[in-house]
Amino acid sequence: MNTNKVLDALIGMAVGDALGVPVEFLSRELLRNSPVVEMTGYGTHNQPAGTWSDDSSLAFCLAESLCEGYDVDKIAKNFLKWYQENHWTPHGKVFDIGVATSQALRRVRDGVNPLVAGGVTEYDNGNGSLMRILPLAFYIQNMPIDERFELIAKTSSITHGHIRSINSCFIYIEYVLELLKGINKMDAFKNMQKTVNAFYKEYSICSEHEISKFHRILENPIGDYNIYPIYEYPENEIRSSGYVLHTLEASFWCFLKSMNYAEAVQKAVNLGEDTDTTGCVTGGLAGIYYGIESIPAHWVEALARKNDIFSLAEKLSKATQK
């Protein structure tokens, strides 16, 4: 894997995140009247322009750990280092953390096995593992699909152990792996659907009820509903809350309905509510597909710790070359 694709992913993710940080929690209606079109600062979290959130922080912690191979205990310790020692923060201080992630990391701190630290109820399906999962794609890309799923499940479960969160991460990563092949994004999406649906048929991973939650993405028939591609849904049927399924659907919708990186992340952030995470998850896809050269240069320049991110991308690329 060349450095560029890892860099495309990490910078794409962080820029989308940083665009969303100043307007997190603002409504779609408010942003419709005053949309985000540029990298701005302050706002919700009173942070300077180019500041990324816990989303990118934890993704960078994961990427750093993967440079030395896969070890779930080391990944969890790196997350804890962020939580307790401000490791991989943009300006030396944690300023944003989800409730589920905070609870899980306290369990890890208290000696709980990281594989069972994450919440496992239906109410534990925030987007806190989806937001940070992207770097894992580069480590697992040449593994068989069952092994890919296993490592995705382990990595998600540190903070989010419910099968819906795991499946969301799995579907996202499978789409990333298709995009890394360099094919058209629509063809890649169809390939992902075929791969994921075949996997669920072959392996008894979860109930049909859980798989049906993803019917708008996987285009599986459910009841008498008509099946449409996710990108054909009107905006008012796309949600942008902190629920993992909303984030996954919104990121695919924004990416598939846009023509370039800037349009994709602007669309994501201007959906409102969980703007940093929707921007981050969308930005990862758009970064990989359109490349870092497609990202407005002044957005990249504004990023906190830009040089550290470039160095991390190079390290991860070297570590995951086959």
In the predicted model, what is the mean pLDDT of the chain?
97
Q: For helices 72-85 and 145-157, what crossing angle results, to 10°?
A: 30
Mean pLDDT of 30-58: 98
18 contact partners, CB below 8 Å, separation of at least 6: 39, 49, 50, 51, 52, 53, 56, 276, 279, 299, 302, 303, 304
Q: Which domains does the chain have, with CATH numbers?
A: 5-214+235-321 (1.10.4080.10)
| pLDDT tens, position by position, 5-21 | 999 999 999 999 999 99
**DSSP character for 24?**
T
Per-residue pLDDT band for 224 (boundaries 50, 70, 90) equals confident
| pLDDT tens, position by position, 154-197 | 999 999 999 999 999 999 999 999 999 999 999 999 999 999 99
